[in-house]
Chain A
Amino acid sequence: MKYLILMHVDPEILESLTAEQQQAIGAGHEAFMAKTTETGEMLSTHALGAPSQSKVVRSRNGRPETVDGPFAETKEFMGGYYLVDVDSEERAIELAKEIPDASIDGLALEIRPVMFSAGADI
């Protein structure tokens, strides 16, 4: 079963972290990637640019139009994701708890099952 573990981050919280904390998070992600690669559960991961870098294409009068900025006006945005393949939802949750973000108040991980896959990497 493939699960997408979405990393919901709040830019304010990220900016308020000390250098040590940021380093610890970085190291934690490294360790998480190494471990899930070794177990054969990791498929891919991507980190995303800040919401200020977003463009949104949406329909206006039935034609696509581009605007600057994020899709939703919220404090939290999706900072990236891990795509894993695991035996159960319990295991996906267990893995999500090992991601450093899971131990920082104000950050969150959302675990969502994948229904369909296609592409060159599978």
Chain B
Amino acid sequence: MSPAPHEDLLRARAPQVLAALLRQHGVGQFDVCEDAVQEALLAAHRQWPEGGVPDDTFAWLLTAARRRMIDRIRSDHHRRERERDYVELRHPLADAAVVQTDDSVQLLRLCCHPELTRSAQVALTLRAVAGLSTAQIAHAYLLPEATVAQRISRAKARIRAAGAGFPPPLGPGDRLDPVLDVVYVMFTEGHTSSAGDDANDIRLSDEAIRLARLLQRELPEHVEVAGLLALMMLTDARRAARTDANGALIPLDEQDRSLWDRDAIRDATEILDDALTRGVAGPYSMQAAIAALHDEAPSTETTDWPQILVLFRMLEHATGNPIATLNRAVAEAMVHGPDAGLATVDALADSRGIPDGKRLASVRAHLLERAGRSAEAIDEYRSAARMTLSIPERDYLLARARRLEG
């Protein structure tokens, strides 16, 4: 779907308007505020295409959302006393100047509240910050709309019950990790294939990149925010080469690199280089640096594997994540030969330190193939295929096995 011309503008405004309402009414009114913003967005969708886009879109949406809130509250008999609070709203733009500073980071932190489950954090973020409708979120996750609606309203109720205040501006000691993790989960889940013309077709990977851009605009000094944005852009830049016409997966070393999005790679590399001059690289920046080395290389053979190996060692050291160890094994195989990689993989398997058996089997199969141990590789590919929950991945692994059988 090609978005309407004002679609991007509307979605960029959504979190700003919600943040302005929350500042005024408090997080205790989160659900009422968020519903009001959704209704204001719908009103804009209906009215702007014909009536034209207003000069001050922020003010227009804020006014529309406040009217909705007043209607809501007036119709609520139990809140009569609250009406007095709204008398002041006759001059709805009195404080518009104050809230033009973008509060999206604080809003993101609120949506990624630790009280919420991961799926609730993602759903709430997509709706409140990315400005998506419940239908669009449901469509992206292949879930019934009622389920997603329930999840969102429950998440809002939990935030209210937790007595969360609107988070204060991010201090130097405040950790953004929960927000970055939610955005990255959104990205990695987000390979919903777009059918093209369905108004609900949302590419979650695009949403995640959009959110990271928002964060980066507001926190230009934050190394990991830039690292996450660059990582996602560098990964997404290979999208066109990642699958063939039938949707079958193509591994990195067989991809047609002329299909990679060079502009995105250049932009992402600039963002990353700039960030790395500002401070110490964290896990996202390290992974971005690895992705950049892949994206800059003309081929697998000319890739700077020694440098990638160093980066995976750093990542391992920083996170203790066994997936980093598994990826280090691949780099070791490229630098020191497949046996070196296999030794690392086998040690990891023996230590039972890896929860993801499918990834381990898949890496081991590739390394066995490289080492010329075809019979074992075939078994390992089949074993990985039985473990995966992704149909394209299963088909790819079985195809590798068949290819070896000749």
Contacts and interface: CB of A to CB of B under 8 A. Distances in A.
B114 to A, nearest CB: 14
B120 A40 contact: yes
Interface of A is mostly: loop
A122 B206 CA distance: 21
Contacts of B118: 87
B347 interface: no
A114 B148 CA distance: 18
Nearest to B148: A40
B119 interface: yes
A93 to B, nearest CB: 15
A41 B150 CA distance: 9
A38 B154 contact: yes
Given A115-B390, A115-B391, A39 B154 contact: yes
Interface in A108-122: 113-118, 121-122
A43 B391 contact: no
Contact of B389 (A38, A87, A115): A115
A39 B148 CA distance: 10
Contacts of B370: none
B279 interface: no
Interface stretch (B13-21, B139-147, B321-329): B139-147
B119 A87 contact: yes
B119 A122 contact: no
Contacts of A107: none
Nearest to A115: B389
B74 interface: no
Contacts of A41: 147
Interface in B351-399: 389-391, 394
Nearest to B139: A122
Nearest to B393: A115
B313 interface: no
A85 B389 contact: no
A121 B144 CA distance: 6
A43 B147 contact: yes
B385 to A, nearest CB: 12
B184 to A, nearest CB: 15
B193 interface: no
A21 interface: no
Interface string B86-104: 0000000000000000000
B391 A40 contact: no
B151 interface: yes
A42 interface: yes
A116 B151 CA distance: 22
B267 to A, nearest CB: 33
B144 A37 contact: no
B117 interface: yes
A70 to B, nearest CB: 26
B119 A43 contact: no
Contacts of A86: 119
A116 B391 contact: yes
B150 A37 contact: yes
A42 B391 contact: no
A43 B151 CA distance: 12
B388 to A, nearest CB: 8
A113 B120 CA distance: 20
Residue from B120, B142, B390, B394 with most neighbouring chain A CB atoms (10 Å): B142
A113 B389 contact: yes
A67 B363 CA distance: 46
A43 B144 contact: yes
Contacts of A43: 143-144, 147
A121 B146 CA distance: 10
Nearest to B141: A85
Nearest to B145: A122
Given A85-B119, A87-B118, A122 B150 contact: no
Interface string B127-165: 000000000001001111001101100100000000000
Contacts of A122: 138, 142-144
A20 B185 CA distance: 46
Given A115-B389, A116-B391, A40 B154 contact: yes
Interface of A: 37-43, 85-87, 113-118, 121-122
Q: Which 6 A-B pairs have the closest CB atoms?
A: A40-B151, A40-B150, A117-B142, A122-B142, A87-B118, A113-B389
7 contacts: A38-B154, A40-B147, A40-B151, A43-B144, A115-B390, A117-B142, A118-B142
Interface of B: 117-120, 138, 141-144, 147-148, 150-151, 154, 389-391, 394
Given A39-B151, A40-B151, A117-B142, 4 more contacts: A39-B150, A40-B150, A85-B119, A122-B143
